[in-house]
Amino acid sequence: MLNLIFKDIILSKRKIISAFMICLTICLVINIVHSKVLTILYILMPLTSMFILVDDSSFYDYRYTVNVMFNSLPIRKKDVVIAKYIEAVVFFIIGVAITLICTNLFKINGTSNAASGMANIGLYNKLLGTKSIIESCAISSVLLIATYFPAYFKCQYMKVRGIFLLVNIAIIALPIIFVKVVGSVSTYKILTYFSKEPKWIMTSATAIILFLILSISLNLSINFYEKRDL
C-alpha cells in the first residue's frame, strides 16, 4: 500500500510546484483587488492545491490504464482505494504547507501592514492562523474527497472529472456567496455565537461527523471498485 502512495506523490512533484505558483498568484490577486470577501480564499488554498494534485494523480492512472495493470497484479482492490484516500490526506497536508508559505511571504515583506492590510490580512489574522486554516480546509477537503472518490471508483476518470471540478468550485464559492447574501455583520454574529460554545464540544462534534462521512465514502468506494469491471 505504501508503494501505491509513494508512486503518486513522486509523480506529482511537478504539480506541487504548479500548485505553489497558483496559490502565490491567488495571494497576489487578493492583495491587488483589496477585497474583504476574497480574503476567505486564503483558507481555501489548501483545497485548491489538493484538487490539483488529486486530479493529476487520477489523470495519470487513467492515461496509463493503471487500474487495468493493478488487476493483473496481486494487489487487493481495497488497498488501492485506501491508498487513494491516504494519498488525498498527504496532498491536503502539502496544500496546507503551501498556503502557510505563501501567506507568510506576504506577511514577512510587510504587505499586510500597508494601509491596514492591502487584503485586510490584519483584520483576518485568525483566518490566516495555522489552526484555522487546517480546521476550515479539513471540513472542505473531507466533503470534496467524500463526493469525488465514490464517483471516481464507480465510473471512469473522464466521466467524473467535471463533477470533481464543479464540487471544488462550489465549495470555494459557497462561503463567498454566503457572506455576500447574509452580510459580513450577520456572518460575524453567527461565528461569534458558535465560538461561545465550549471548544472541545465543537471540535469533537465536527471530528465525529467528518469521520462518519469519510467512513461512508470509503466503504462506498471499496464496494464500487470491487464490483467495477476493469
SS3 category, 83: helix
Per-residue pLDDT of 66-107, as tens digits, reads 777 777 777 888 888 998 899 888 888 888 887 777 777 766
59-66 average pLDDT score:
79
* Amino acid 85: pLDDT: 92
- Cell numbers standing for residue 98: 503551501
Instruction: Say which residue the cell 464507480 belongs to.
Output: 154
Q: Find out whether 23 and 100 touch, Cβ atoms under 8 Å.
A: no
* Amino acid 25: pLDDT: 79
Q: Determine the Cα–Cα distance for residues 175 and 164; give it in Å rounded to an integer.
A: 18
Taking the model in full, what pTM does it have? 0.76
For the chain, how many residues are written? Answer: 230
184-198 average pLDDT score:
70
* Amino acid 222: pLDDT: 92
Band of pLDDT at residue 177, cut at 50, 70 and 90? confident
Tell whether the model's pLDDT for residue 12 goes beyond 70.
yes
Tell whether the model's pLDDT for residue 114 goes beyond 70.
no
168 against 117, higher pLDDT: 168
CA 217, 79, 136: angle at the middle one, nearest 5?
A: 40
Residues sharing a CB contact under 8 Å with residue 203, sequence separation 6 or more, in sequence order: none
* Share of residues in the chain with pLDDT > 70 (%): 72
Q: Lowest mean pLDDT: which of 59-68, 85-94, 141-150, 217-226?
A: 59-68
Q: Find out whether 112 and 118 touch, Cβ atoms under 8 Å.
A: yes
The residues spanned by each domain of the chain are 2-227
